[in-house]
Chains A and B, each alone.
Chain A
Amino acid sequence: DARVTQTPRHKVTEMGQEVTMRCQPILGHNTVFWYRQTMMQGLELLAYFRNRAPLDDSGMPKDRFSAEMPDATLATLKIQPSEPRDSAVYFCASGFGNFGFGTQHFGDGTRLSIL
């Protein structure tokens, strides 16, 4: 079965450091989503792309977070500088569609701890 691949699976780093998370969407999917999951806030949409174009990043703190899709097989989410409150599980998901939101396929997530 095709899967969304996220790297790294775990990341522990000190505050102030740059963190880069990577996602390989399922081949042929044209939408990519970045979510953050915490106990307090649940699952929050940070940003999403359709056909590699960023469509909505309103859920992201823009001063420190950035999301890019340099090509159709790679999406990245960067945090610089990182803060302890960024500790969470970050999920990437991909799907296919030209309007609205259909079925999304999730990766296993990156568990991020900022000390």
Chain B
Amino acid sequence: SQQGEEDPQALSIQEGENATMNCSYKTSINNLQWYRQNSGRCLVHLILIRSNEREKHSGRLRVTLDTSKKSSSLLITASRAADTASYFCATDSTGANSKLTFGKGITLSVRP
């Protein structure tokens, strides 16, 4: 079963609107990360939030983490057509066999 699962699978919005993407996970984590991928190209790290943090900001990005609900959200404010991409959450699970596990991604389309 997938450790990190994003929701929704696909999102289409108008330029200027906010985009909210969610990620749920199953086991305890050290941190949660969000990455972006344009058209099958390399993944680019966006933001990392540690398990003892609740919210982080980076430019137009805002990430929240609720460890009690095992969920995170990525908010992109004032979206631009250039934000069109796939977004992945990745969880660094705790434990002896920890690894960074990626979800299947959310496809975001921002219409000009």
**Contact in complex: B45, A103 (CB < 8 Å):** yes
Q: Which of A42, A56, A89, A93 contacts B40 (CB 8 A)?
A: A89
Contact A42 B104 (CB under 8 A): yes
Distance between B41 CB and nearest chain A CB, rounded to angstroms: 6
* Partner-contacting stretch, out of A16-24, A63-71, A79-87, A106-114: A106-114
Nearest Cβ distance between residue B87 and chain A, in whole angstroms?
12
Interface bin, chain A = 20 to 34
Are A42 and B103 in contact, with the CB atoms below 8 A? Answer: yes
Task: Specify which of B31, B42, B45 is in contact with A100 (CB 8 Å cutoff).
Answer: B31
Could you show 15 A-B contacts with beta carbons less than 8 Å apart? A4-B42, A42-B103, A42-B104, A43-B88, A45-B101, A100-B30, A100-B31, A101-B98, A101-B100, A102-B31, A103-B45, A106-B35, A107-B42, A108-B42, A109-B42
> Residues on B close to A: CB < 8 A?
30-31, 33, 35, 40-45, 48, 88, 92, 97-105
17 A-B pairs besides A104-B100, A107-B42 with CB distance below 8 A are A4-B42, A37-B40, A42-B105, A43-B88, A43-B102, A43-B105, A89-B40, A100-B30, A100-B31, A100-B98, A101-B98, A103-B48, A104-B33, A104-B43, A106-B43, A106-B44, A109-B40
* Chain A interface (Cβ < 8 Å from any Cβ of B): 4, 33, 35, 37, 42-43, 45, 48, 56, 89, 91, 93, 100-109
